[in-house]
């Protein structure tokens, strides 16, 4: 990259002006990009573009369930005239080729979006820059003065779109008891309008990605049911197709309160105080995004500041974009910050060239 700095040696007392330092940004080398199945093109491009902009070569490891679209994208790049070897794709199961790729000495940086696998990668990768987004349990706090219609609409959009298979989906609702009944009623009414079926029929709720994912979701639901949660819809599953579900009166002893279902199932926790909701949000291992609904912007900002998570949306559902916004998680939700500018900085390193002059040199004036 051309961006750099010109530094002089006498910026601190005791040093003469006889050294010029030319600090420049240079590429890391080869960046391994591993996007997830739910956004196999967008989240691939958000990694590939900054890597190429900064002069790196890229190896793309597409998700097994999203490999076809990623391979088409790489093929388009080759047809457009990309130099041979600049952008390559390697397919295969992560369980079979993952360690070989992430621990290979030829890899100089890893940008990964996915689940717990990222924690294993971070322990094995060695001393190279890592950019990781590993999922979330995005908490939605609804205060007493919230616009409940707005909050309900955003729960539908933010919790059930993509069948809940988004790291930034609303994964738990903490709502003040005084407005909980009304909010739940609005959400349930809107859920009845969701169309359930196959993607080719332009449905709102479609099958989750795999049978193992559906089985995991069912395990969370059954655990909540045995521990006394209230169901506002009948639990219904057809193979990988899981019908949308709102689980009410969830308590901290239920797995659904803490674990990420990655499906169209949302738990509701009724809270007596705002502090209770903040504490619940901060107690989770995941800390990617969250949201606060309140008509009082001052109150919303105070709650936002107290929530220990990567991004807080005020009066809107969590969302990753736009792509130039910083995107990061705390704790088990990841390492580093994404977003075009942040990725560009992460995918370069600084190199310095120091010119030593025989005598001190000063500019005129």
- Which residues participate in catalysis according to the annotation? 133, 167
Residues sharing a CB contact under 8 Å with residue 215, sequence separation 6 or more, in sequence order: none
Cα torsion angle, 263, 264, 265, 269, sign: positive
Residues sharing a CB contact under 8 Å with residue 196, sequence separation 6 or more, in sequence order: 203, 204, 205, 206, 241, 243, 244
Residues sharing a CB contact under 8 Å with residue 56, sequence separation 6 or more, in sequence order: 27, 28, 29, 30, 31, 108, 109, 347
Cα distances (angstroms) measured from residue 92 to each of 44, 62, 65, 120, 238: 16, 8, 10, 18, 28
348-356/330-331 β-pairing: unpaired
Q: How far apart, in Å, do the first and last CA atoms of the chain sit?
A: 32
Residue 55 DSSP SS3: coil
Residue 328 pairs in a beta bridge with 337
CB atoms within 10 A of CB 231: 14
User: Which runs of E-coded beta strand occur in 10-129?
Assistant: 19-27, 30-34, 57-60, 87-89, 109-113
**Buried-exposed string 307-322: b where 16+ CB fall within 10 A, e elsewhere:** bebbbbbebebbbbee
Question: From CA 329, how far away is CA 138, in angstroms rounded?
Answer: 11
Cα torsion angle, 307, 313, 314, 317, sign: negative
DSSP state of 199: G
């Amino acid at each position: 990259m051309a961006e750099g700095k010109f530094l002089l040696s006498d910026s601190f007392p005791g040093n003469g002006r006889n050294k010029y330092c030319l600090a420049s940004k240079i590429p890391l080398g080869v960046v391994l990009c591993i996007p997830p199945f739910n956004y196999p093109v967008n989240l691939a491009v958000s990694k590939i573009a900054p890597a190429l902009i900064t002069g790196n070569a890229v190896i793309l490891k597409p998700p097994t369930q999203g490999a076809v679209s990623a391979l088409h994208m790489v093929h388009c790049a080759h047809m457009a005239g990309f130099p041979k070897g600049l952008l390559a794709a390697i397919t295969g199961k992560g369980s079979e080729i993952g360690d070989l790729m992430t621990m290979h000495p030829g890899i100089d940086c890893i940008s990964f979006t996915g689940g717990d696998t990222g924690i294993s990668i971070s322990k094995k990768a060695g001393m190279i820059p890592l950019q990781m987004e590993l999922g979330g349990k995005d908490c939605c706090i609804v205060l007493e003065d919230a616009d409940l219609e707005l909050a309900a609409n955003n729960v539908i959009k933010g919790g059930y779109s993509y069948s809940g298979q988004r790291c930034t989906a609303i994964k738990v609702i903490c709502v003040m008891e005084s407005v909980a009944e009304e909010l739940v009623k609005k959400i349930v009414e809107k859920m009845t309008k969701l169309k359930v079926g196959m993607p080719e029929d332009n449905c709102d709720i479609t099958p989750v990605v795999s049978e193992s994912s559906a089985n995991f979701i069912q395990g969370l639901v059954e655990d909540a049911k045995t521990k006394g949660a209230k169901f506002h819809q009948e639990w219904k599953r057809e193979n990988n197709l899981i019908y949308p579900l709102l689980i009410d009166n969830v308590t901290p002893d239920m797995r659904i309160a803490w674990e990420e279902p990655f499906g169209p199932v949302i738990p509701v926790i009724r809270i007596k105080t705002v502090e209770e909701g903040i504490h619940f949000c901060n107690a989770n291992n995941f800390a990617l995004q969250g949201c606060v609904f309140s008509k009082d912007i001052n109150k919303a900002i105070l709650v936002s500041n107290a929530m220990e998570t990567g991004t807080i949306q005020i009066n809107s559902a969590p969302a990753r974009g736009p792509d130039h916004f910083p995107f990061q998680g705390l704790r088990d939700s990841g390492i580093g910050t994404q977003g075009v500018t942040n990725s560009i900085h992460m995918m370069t390193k600084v190199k310095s060239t120091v010119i030593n002059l025989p005598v001190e040199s000063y500019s005129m004036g």
